[in-house]
Amino acid sequence: MKSILQTNFSGIESLVMKEVKKPEVTPDGILIRMTTLPVVPSDWKREYNSNATAELADNLPRTIGIGGVGLVVGVGANQDHKLLNQRVLVMHPQGSYSEYILTTERQFIFPLPSSISDEQAAALTAGPGTALLLSHIINDSDADNIVVTGANSVIGLFLLQQLKHSQKRILPIVSPVSQSYFNKYQKKASYQVDNLPQLNGSSLIFDLAGSTELLLELRKQLPTSPITSIVITKNSEIMDLTFVHEEFDADNYRKFIQQVADGELIVPLDRSFTFDHVKEAQYYAKESHSRGRVLITLNKEETIYD
């Protein structure tokens, strides 16, 4: 079978496609034929730096990817045989960019209803879970105003959906080039730093964009507002900054799947690339303005979703 391996820390160019042995079903194993894989920032960050994320990734070569969607094609004697032939979302931080993966972690496998597509399910990886964490921080705070940078990102659009009933004043920061895209998903007014209104009461800044320049500009207007970032771990130029990341919770993912199936949670999708164009997909996702989750497909043609 084919797998995408990272061979060094030179970045996206370190990726190679290699033929490796297909895993055999073990008594505790679940074999999944992968169909759809998300392209997420943690992928290329780890390709430049083994310490870029909470999970160490310095043992090379390694299969990239943290999850995806596939079809269960083999179930070991000690596992749940009801999974056989089911479409599933699987979390597999040991590497998911393979035609087949073998896992023993039943709690990381989520059967999918027919009303949710492979693409929608795959895009739930590294998206709404992080947004839910931020929404809890926001709702538990005493702040009157919530400023969100990178609000047009995948996580940003999930977060704004989760905050739709919040009583706080939400101020999304969106660049002019992303304004029309943002407006397709959100009726909420958005701002740039230079037209942010005068804010009364206390404010919190939530950084989804990872732009030091943007945060420093915001600090000129909101000099005492704490910053919570999902991108920047630390920065000597920015005081009172806290980095946070998602702690996986299986119950949350079951809830997200049901919300998508019921039409309560909209999944922003951009386009898919085929398995032999993983480098191109990562460069596109890394260098383009966010227009939804970028995906890798193993069983379909390349598609632009919007």
Domains of the chain: 2-126+248-304 (3.90.180.10), 128-243 (3.40.50.720)
Digit-coded pLDDT (tens) for 122-147: 999 999 999 999 999 999 999 999 99
Q: What is the pTM of this model?
A: 0.94
Digit-coded pLDDT (tens) for 242-253: 999 999 999 999
- With 70 as the cut, is the pLDDT of residue 95 above it? yes
- Please, which contacts does 111-115 make with residues 24 or more away whose CB atoms are closer than 8 Å? 111/83, 111/86, 111/87, 112/69, 112/86, 112/87, 112/88, 112/257, 113/257, 113/258, 113/261, 115/261, 115/262
Q: What is the mean pLDDT of the chain?
A: 95
Q: For residue 70, what pLDDT is reported?
A: 99
The total of other beta-carbon atoms located within 10 Å of residue 270's CB is 21
Which residues is 125 bridged to in the sheet?
none
Assign 146 to helix, strand or coil. Answer: strand
Q: For residue 182, what pLDDT is reported?
A: 96
Give kind and range of the element (H or E) at residue 128: helix 128-140
Residue spans of alpha helices (H) in 201-294: 212-221, 250-261, 278-287
Digit-coded pLDDT (tens) for 30-77: 999 999 999 999 999 999 986 655 455 568 999 999 999 999 999 999
